[in-house]
């Protein structure tokens, strides 16, 4: 009996190694039951893996996220997850329908290889394989193409086709983009139809643009609508229900509260970059000569929060403006600086008599001076500056040149945003009658509340006192609450049941269209 036991053990090991008791993998069970076809019970994972690896090698170069797709299947032992979970229940058919219908979002179904997916689904559904290994190439290719198409379709709608930060040099808004974790989570989703339904854009603006696109016949109009549909797909920072928006092509600032307009006003934004800018920058890079440097005053796109108000602001004149304008004005007119209330500093020390500087001795590209324009009449920033954190030294401000607001094309500033109604804007920010009257007194305006008249009278008395030299200085005020601000670029949007269109003032539509063309 003991000898018999020693004989039976190697026998069991042998038949186990020969797969006599092998259980078919899940894909084999699913397809065997679905088709009532016994050949799938012989599904050999080792043989399938070999086919899968070759298929992956042939297809992955065309994937948007090949490393993530490969990592997902490596973590799942190359098992056909999509086919196993979503073929028999019709999930892959739903995916194919959504891909075919992607034209409603301006996509070309070909970018998802939709026809190939449809053909593979039909081939698998025909159930005409004589041997199970004949199905391996079909299953492997269907698996990989649907995984790639599913993740691409979802990401394009959820995040946008392109990353604007990769194509625009002055786009500083942090947009959320898909990552490997989110793609893996998507491929592991339990219900593909629920995911496809959930990712359809729901914003009122997007739906309005989409409807207009489906009704439009003119190619140019369709192009503009598609570009702005893409902009509304980008995942911007959370702004909440109460925020300020500056739309550059509209030359307008709008304060929104739960989609209601709190205030709206004209703005002047940065001037368009010089024609042939890119080529001229190459020439400047070679020569280093400032005369070769092209102008670019375009206002950057950014997201921040307005955190302070400066009444009677001082203008710290940027180096670029000092080199291109202040230097030449000072050379032309020795009294220009003092007449313009511009102070000159050398190694951070004030020069008492800037009119005596011999500017011809200094090269403008190596100016050792800094320039500041003092508070008061004539200051380029007017009476108010609205400050928010950003890396471009950009802010909203008043202006002493009100004529600019009468222009149709208001891309005329050096980059900052001039606003039409600074006092009303300041009042909305401080949201407090006491603080607002203090702010008004700083700019010599009568208080709204007559009980605050003593501030005003005291200030006016100080200014009129000839025995003491009154020096106008900036005064700082904090808003009741920091207000989100987004400076954006939209050339078509829905308003009052119609689509508003604006000119592509910075040529950003053209750049975006080039990036989107391959998806058309």
Residue identified by tokens 């026998």 is 11
Token pair belonging to 171:
């786009």
For residues 415 and 235, give the distance between their C-alpha atoms in angstroms, rounded to a whole number.
25
Name 267's bridge partners: 419
> Does residue 416 carry a catalytic annotation?
yes
Distance separating alpha carbons of residues 410 and 401, to the nearest angstrom: 12
Contacts of 24 (CB under 8 A, 6+ apart): 32, 40, 41, 42, 43
Contacts of 515 (CB under 8 A, 6+ apart): 161, 162, 167
Active-site residue identified among 105, 268, 297, 397: 397
425 touches 439 (CB < 8 A):
no
User: Would you say 450 and 309 are in contact if contact means Cβ atoms under 8 Å apart?
Assistant: no
Cα angle: 211, vertex 167, 207; to 5 degrees: 15
- What sections of 160-294 are H helices per DSSP? 164-167, 180-187, 192-198, 204-215, 219-233, 277-287
Cβ neighbours of residue 455 under 8 Å, at least 6 residues apart?
437, 438, 441, 447
Radius of gyration of the chain from Cα atoms?
Answer: 33
Active site residue 397: yes
Sequence-ordered list of residues with C-beta below 8 angstroms from that of 397, at least 6 positions apart, any chain: 313, 381, 382, 384, 385, 386, 416, 417, 418, 419, 422
Residue 142 has a CB neighbour count (10 Å cut-off) of: 24
> Could you tell me where the DSSP H helices lie in 288-371?
319-321, 327-332, 336-339
Catalytic residue annotation:
397, 416
């Amino acid at each position: 009996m003991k000898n018999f036991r020693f004989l039976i053990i190697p026998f069991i090991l042998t038949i186990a190694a020969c797969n006599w008791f092998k259980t078919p993998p899940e894909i084999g069970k699913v397809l065997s039951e679905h088709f009532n076809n016994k050949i799938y019970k012989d599904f050999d994972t080792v043989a399938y893996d070999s086919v899968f690896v070759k298929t992956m090698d042939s297809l992955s170069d065309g994937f948007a996220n090949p490393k993530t797709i490969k990592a997902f299947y490596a973590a799942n032992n190359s098992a056909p997850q999509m086919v196993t979970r979503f073929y028999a229940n019709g999930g892959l058919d739903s995916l194919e329908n959504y891909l075919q219908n992607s034209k409603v979002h301006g996509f070309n179904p070909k970018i998802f290889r939709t026809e190939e997916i449809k053909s593979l689904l039909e081939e698998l559904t025909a159930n005409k394989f004589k041997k199970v290994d004949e199905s391996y190439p079909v299953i492997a290719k269907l698996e990989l193409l649907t995984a790639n198409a599913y993740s691409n379709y979802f990401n394009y709608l959820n995040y946008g086709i392109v990353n604007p930060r990769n194509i625009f040099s002055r786009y500083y808004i942090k947009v959320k983009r898909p990552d490997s974790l989110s793609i893996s989570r998507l491929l592991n989703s339990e219900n593909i139809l629920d995911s496809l339904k959930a990712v359809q854009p729901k914003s009122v603006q997007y739906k309005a643009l989409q409807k207009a696109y489906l009704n439009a016949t003119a190619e140019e109009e369709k192009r503009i609508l598609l570009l702005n549909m893409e902009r509304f797909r980008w995942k911007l920072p959370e702004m909440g229900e109460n925020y300020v928006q500056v739309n550059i092509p509209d030359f307008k600032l709008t304060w929104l509260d739960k989609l209601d307009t709190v205030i709206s006003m004209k703005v002047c934004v940065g001037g368009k970059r010089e024609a042939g800018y890119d080529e001229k920058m190459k020439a400047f890079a070679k020569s280093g000569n400032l005369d070769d440097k092209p102008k670019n005053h375009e206002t950057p796109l950014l997201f921040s929060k307005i955190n302070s108000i400066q009444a009677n602001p001082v203008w710290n004149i940027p180096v670029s403006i000092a080199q291109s304008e202040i230097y030449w004005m000072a050379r032309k007119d020795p009294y220009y600086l003092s007449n313009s209330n511009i102070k000159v500093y050398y190694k951070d020390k004030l020069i008492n008599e800037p009119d005596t500087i011999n500017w011809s001795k200094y090269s403008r590209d190596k100016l050792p001076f800094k320039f500041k324009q003092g508070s008061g009449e004539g200051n380029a920033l007017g009476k108010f500056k609205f400050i928010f954190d950003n890396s471009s030294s950009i802010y909203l401000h008043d202006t002493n040149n009100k004529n600019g607001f009468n222009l149709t094309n208001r891309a005329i500033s050096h980059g900052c945003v001039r606003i039409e109604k600074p006092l009303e804007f300041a009042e909305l920010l401080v949201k407090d009658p006491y603080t607002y009257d203090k702010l008004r007194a700083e700019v010599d305006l009568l208080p709204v509340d007559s009980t605050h008249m003593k501030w005003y009278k005291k200030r006016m008395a100080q200014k009129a006192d000839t025995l003491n030299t009154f020096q106008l200085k900036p005064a700082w005020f904090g808003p009741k609450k920091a207000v989100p601000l987004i400076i954006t670029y939209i050339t078509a949007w829905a308003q009052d049941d119609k689509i508003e269109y604006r000119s592509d003032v910075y040529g950003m539509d053209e750049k975006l269209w080039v990036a989107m063309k391959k998806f058309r």
